[in-house]
Structure 1
Amino acid sequence: MAAEGTRGVWGRFVGSRVGRWFRSLLQDYAAAAADVTSGARRRPGAAAATVTSLAAAAAAAATVPSADSFDAAALDAAAALGLLSPGTRSPGADLHVQRLLRRRDTGRLRYRHLVLAAVVYESPRAAGTAAYAQRCRYLRPPWWEAPRRVLDVGFLGRWWLLRRRLRDYDVNDEEFAALPERLRRLRPHQLRSHQNEREFAEKFRHVGVAEGDAAR
């Protein structure tokens, strides 16, 4: 009796207007899936490219860095630069990190999640004064200054501008400004550390003197 009642309820649901709508929806999905499958068989290259693009977009969306990660990266960069003396750290990296920290301390950093990437940009005022910008159009920054206000772009789990600015952060090019031009650059074939270490170790080797040479 319970099974007949269940079949009766299911039968009434299938015969109702909502049931017919769900059945037509499932039929539409099945037809669409069949069309996609047949299209993929006809054009496997395009199907593979589409699947690859969707997978890459999903991976990019899943690895968008957060605002906390930017704060952590900026603080780590400041700590790494703080371990160096002012004469050895890169001036460009030091100025960029100090600029980020000043904007952060004054509440002028803004974070925006753009689905596939994230942007950190500079606001002309702190977060507490945002209401004034809504009332007074003279406080709003002009649209052509938007590119200059962007401080970093987050993509694939990294903040790329900060990463680029911190490249060779422990090298101060101003230290070598007095050298000739040919001595300011090192080419890959000049970086032979193993050969330099071997020649350095040669200085500490004992010099052997043969008996014949000692008699002379």
Structure 2
Amino acid sequence: MALRLVTRRMFCAVGEAAIAPPSKSRWEKLKYGKAATWIRSLASDYKEACLDMVVGIREHPVKASVYMSVLGGAFTCFLTKPDYSSFEVSLLERSNQLALLSSWIRNASSDCHVQNLLKLRNEGRLCHVNLGLLSLVYFNEHTPDSKLYEAQCSSLSVLWREFPRRVMDVGFAGHWWILDSKMTNYDVNEDEFAYLPVHMQRTSPPTAQGVETNERLHRESWLALKVEAEEKEMIEMDKGSTVEK
């Protein structure tokens, strides 16, 4: 009886071994695993999305061109967005430009704005924030390491609605726009013309006819003077009278 049971178990084990599938290799386990299945499904989804995008571009070329222009412009603005180091370089360059001018011909608005920025920078109150497509430079009421109660208490902090008042410059497309606008005509002191009549404080640009007239007069100023006949007679008479004497 015992021999029969042992024989039956041996035959069952051999049969199960013959029926069982062969063991998979490591590559097959990796190929048919959960991670591989998830990657294949993700690649299939991206493939279908790309095909739909190509079909949409063919069906609506104008709409697609507008979208691509907007995306390209946004990407360009993101790449050309200035940082705080470029702001410091621009500020020092503008300060050097103003320092080369006399105080009599220096624009008061430009000088006041630049000096205010330098004061805030030296005090450590200028801050920079990156907003993706543009950058902002603003000032704080206190320095970061200030231990005053007003600086540490969150209830006394500046409200967000007052943030536009503290913005000192906007960096966009590789330029600091407020600083550049303040430096327009930085070598023209407008206070010099404050006591002139109103019609003389502002000059209009010359017309094309006026420019031609000025150029003609300038060319004529280099020509030799022409003596008229009457002037020649007067000169001869003066010479005759001189000889008689």
Where 1:121 maps in the other structure, the secondary structure is strand
1:209/1:10 Cα in 2 relative to 1: closer, same or farther (>3 Å)? farther
More off after superposition, 37-46 vs 94-103:
37-46
Q: Which residue of 2 aligns with 1:155?
A: 172
1:79 corresponds to 2:92: no
Q: CA offsets per residue over residues 98-118 of structure 1, 9 Å max, x none?
A: 100000010000001111000
Q: Which residue of 2 aligns with 1:171?
A: 188
1:206 corresponds to 2:224: yes
Q: Which residue of 1 aligns with 2:122?
A: 105
Q: List, as ranges, runs of 4+ consecutive aligned residues in structure 1 with deviation greater than 6 Å.
A: none
Q: CA offsets per residue over residues 150-173 of structure 1, 9 Å max, x none?
A: 000000000000011111111122
**Which among 141, 156, 163 is matched to residue 146 of structure 1?**
163
Q: Which residue of 1 aligns with 2:44?
A: 27
Q: Per-residue deviation at 1:214?
A: 1.9
Q: Which residue of 1 aligns with 2:33?
A: 16
Alignment: residue pair count? 209
1:37/1:23 Cα in 2 relative to 1: closer, same or farther (>3 Å)? same
Equivalent pairs: percent with the same residue?
A: 34
Q: Per-residue deviation at 1:178?
A: 1.8
1:90/1:68 Cα in 2 relative to 1: closer, same or farther (>3 Å)? same
Counterpart Cα distance in 2 of 1:155 and 1:31: 37
Structure showing greater relative contact order (alpha-carbon pairs closer than 8 Å, 6 or more residues apart): 1
The question of whether the paired residues in 1 share the 8 Å contact of 2:142 and 2:151 is answered with no
Q: Per-residue deviation at 1:90?
A: 1.2
How high is the TM-score relative to the length of structure 1?
A: 0.86
Structure 2: gaps spanning 5 or more residues: 1-24, 235-245
Counterpart Cα distance in 2 of 1:130 and 1:157: 36
The question of whether the paired residues in 1 share the 8 Å contact of 2:107 and 2:190 is answered with yes
Q: CA offsets per residue over residues 114-171 of structure 1, 9 Å max, x none?
A: 1100000011111222796674135412333211100000000000000111111111
How high is the TM-score relative to the length of structure 2?
A: 0.76
1:16/1:142 Cα in 2 relative to 1: closer, same or farther (>3 Å)? closer
1:129 corresponds to 2:161: no
Calculate the aligned-residue CA RMSD, in Å: 2.5
1:19/1:115 Cα in 2 relative to 1: closer, same or farther (>3 Å)? same
Q: Which residue of 2 aligns with 1:52?
A: 69
The question of whether the paired residues in 1 share the 8 Å contact of 2:84 and 2:128 is answered with yes
The amino acid of 2:130's aligned partner reads: H
Q: CA offsets per residue over residues 69-110 of structure 1, 9 Å max, x none?
A: 111111111111111111211111111001000000100000
The question of whether the paired residues in 1 share the 8 Å contact of 2:139 and 2:166 is answered with yes
